[in-house]
Structure 1
Amino acid sequence: MDHVGILAEAFYLPPDKKRVEDVFRDESVPFGTLSKNIDFQRDIGIEDIHVTSDLPSVLALEAAKRALDQSGVSAEEIDLVVDFTSIPEDYVGPTWSAAGLVQQELGLVNAFSTAVNTGGCASYHLALKSVMALMLCDDDVETALLFAGDRTPDLNKTYYPITVASDGGSALVLRKNADRARILEVETISIGRLHDVWYVPGLQNREPNEEVSEKLLHMYAKMDKFNEGVIPINFRMFGKVMDRLLKKLDLTHDDVDYYIYPTFSTWDQAYFMKKFGLTPDKVYTSALKHRGHVQESDMVINYAEAVEQGLIKPGDTVMVVSNGAGFAWSAALIRH
């Protein structure tokens, strides 16, 4: 039976850094404790993040070039290009195509370009699931390039009370029947009533007489809805999506060798491990301190770094799990 594997995963993080204490000062982030005596500023666990003035497409292009180089695939071999970036890119709205730009700049003359990017930080999984389904049902799609490029506005790095966002890009090259990093299955669950917990207002949602400013492109949270709708079910939904995935494959958590999880905060990572009985050597957490959260690219970057560091070895079964604004919980199981 045909399957899909990951030939290469790559990323690009701009060299300039900004200390998180300066982010908090510039953005007037509130002091004070959240639930369970957690103080956002004190306990976030992020010291600095990557920042840039480059457009998101620059970050995406660099990551895509690196993924192609690592995969050994030529530009002419790419049949499909998919953008899974989850925040506004070079232009606002879906009229402009970042995938089309990448196709042009990299000379992917035989590819079709599109986007799967409505799952927030779970867009990685939604793109994997969609592309894998397309590759397995269409004989003309053998090789695909997936990418993301994220640059948050200068004064919108803090996603209070969750994390601090870093700029960066990531990319994957998928190939039908590749031996490396076989994607066993992808599972997603969405809850529509939480569709607007996080949102970017844009021009169309200006208040009467409100001046046009960059703040219309900032990410905002409806805190009441977040606290009442997301927090009570968040880790239960993580468990549900992972259990559903494992059941499909007739596996259990005992069969999972390693976990890739977003770099949100120290308390979030600690609770994930406690909730599912995992030890720190089973979950990639070391990137949090000097990178923070890179949106949907967390999953690609954390996976790539874990491979580079020998934490993921050939033959390992890896659970890649995330949630995302919109609102979705997703998990993928990969046999590296």
Structure 2
Amino acid sequence: MKTDHLYIAGLAGHLPRLWPIAEAVAAGRSGAEQARDGGWTSVSVADDTPAPELAAEAARLALKRSGLKAEEVCLVVHAGVYHQGPDGWYAANYVQDQVLGTTAPAIGLNQGCTAMLDAARLAHGHLVHAPQGSAVLVSAADNFGTPTWDRFTYAHGWNTGRASILGDAGCAVLLSATAGPLRIRSLALSSLSSWERLYRGTEDMFPPAAAGGGPRIPLGRRMSAYAEQVEDRDLRLTMARELAEARTAIARQAIDEAGVTSADITRVTHVFSGSPQYVEGLLSPLGIAPERGMLDLGRTVGHLGACDQFLALARLVDTGAVGPGDHVLLVGNGGGISLAAAVVEVLDHPTW
């Protein structure tokens, strides 16, 4: 979808402390050696800071950078990959109260690793009918330091191609229909819902596991269990091929609808990986050099759930790695399987 009037007025990420992988290895942490061998050098760890507070920290800075008033935000959308706090409680309202203190609608979005891109699509539709000068706050955060996650081993048992580990972070973006130093020129969303069973594995859907009371989430073993159940030795290859083709297609769609070519893409933000092979496999089919990806940033923080793409975009802008006239491709996929891509044009040097 071509987006004619969707601007990024403010953007910020919030990273807690970085834990060197070498220290995790020395401490005998299970899976740390595989992470080191997979290219990871450190991982972002929030200790006991709640995920919604990570989002609020990023949102406060994004709002300040935008120059907008809290009253101009007509919608708040908050996302996270996993539980944000007590069951029966909703983090979007916390972010709104802590950052804005207003009565605009606050909505939680459970869409995994593509949630911020999905939220941008919802924001675009909302702003079309909102009063002139309105904005939408989109935030995301996760703290994977819970009893049900092991950030180093959650994907073991299934070949993800990137020896995935999980990091903690918050990210936020203020989207406007009128002005901003960055412009979202296109948004493309899709899904491969027939593969939802791969992430579900052979586990029962009811009763759902509580956030702190169940066993660790063995995402990789779920996938392996499903493959064994259907007795499909080629399942990994089939799924990997279909996912790669769909991800390439959605990225090409976003590039085409933005009215640019792969040669115009200055940088690409994506699901964070410690592996150069993953980045090459993602970008080479698009005719984009792997060096335009975010390998170096990713391998220092871990996979940050829904935050990867926009936190990386914030880093590119903040460090001056992109400037006026540059285009950044944001692309990702998440459990379910959801796919999303966007092209962002840098219009001006942000005042921040």
Normalization by structure 1: what TM-score? Answer: 0.85
Structure 1: state its 5+ residue gaps: 32-39
1:173 partnered with 2:174:
yes
Structure 1 residues 137-179: Cα deviation after superposition (integer angstroms, max 9, x where no partner): 3337811111111011345203424411111111001111214
Q: Which amino acid aligns with 2:92?
A: A
Q: Which amino acid aligns with 1:322?
A: G
Partner in structure 1 of residue 89 of structure 2: 96
Partner in structure 2 of residue 139 of structure 1: 131
1:296 is paired with a residue whose SS is helix
Structure 1 distance, partners of 2:139, 2:186, is 20
1:244 partnered with 2:265:
no
2:207 corresponds to which of 201, 204, 207: 204
1:265 partnered with 2:274:
yes
**Pair 280,137 (structure 1): closer, same or farther in 2 beyond 3 Å:** same
Structure 1 residues 22-44: Cα deviation after superposition (integer angstroms, max 9, x where no partner): 2797664498xxxxxxxx54542
**Pair 274,246 (structure 1): closer, same or farther in 2 beyond 3 Å:** closer
Q: Which amino acid aligns with 1:326?
A: G
Contact 2:329–2:343, Cα closer than 8 Å, also in 1: yes
1:74 CA displacement: 2.1
1:324 CA displacement: 0.7
2:281 is paired with a residue whose SS is helix
* Count of matched residue pairs: 321
1:127 partnered with 2:119:
yes
1:332 partnered with 2:345:
no
Partner in structure 2 of residue 49 of structure 1: 43
Structure 1 residues 215-268: Cα deviation after superposition (integer angstroms, max 9, x where no partner): 446352332457255312222112110222233344332232221122123131
Contact 1:79–1:141, Cα closer than 8 Å, also in 2: no
Once the two structures are overlaid, the 10-residue window that deviates more, 165-174 or 247-256, is 247-256
Alignment of 1:23-62 (within 5 A): 28-29=30-31, 40-41=34-35, 43-51=37-45, 52-62=47-57
Structure 2: state its 5+ residue gaps: 228-234, 347-352
Partner in structure 1 of residue 13 of structure 2: 11
1:21 CA displacement: 6.7
Superposition RMSD in Å: 2.9
1:300 partnered with 2:310:
yes
Structure 2 distance, partners of 1:157, 1:299, is 19
Q: Which amino acid aligns with 1:63?
A: A
**Pair 20,86 (structure 1): closer, same or farther in 2 beyond 3 Å:** farther
Q: Which amino acid aligns with 1:5?
A: Y
Structure 1 distance, partners of 2:101, 2:60, is 11
1:148 partnered with 2:149:
no
Structure 2 distance, partners of 1:84, 1:248, is 26
1:280 CA displacement: 4.1
Contact 1:67–1:171, Cα closer than 8 Å, also in 2: yes
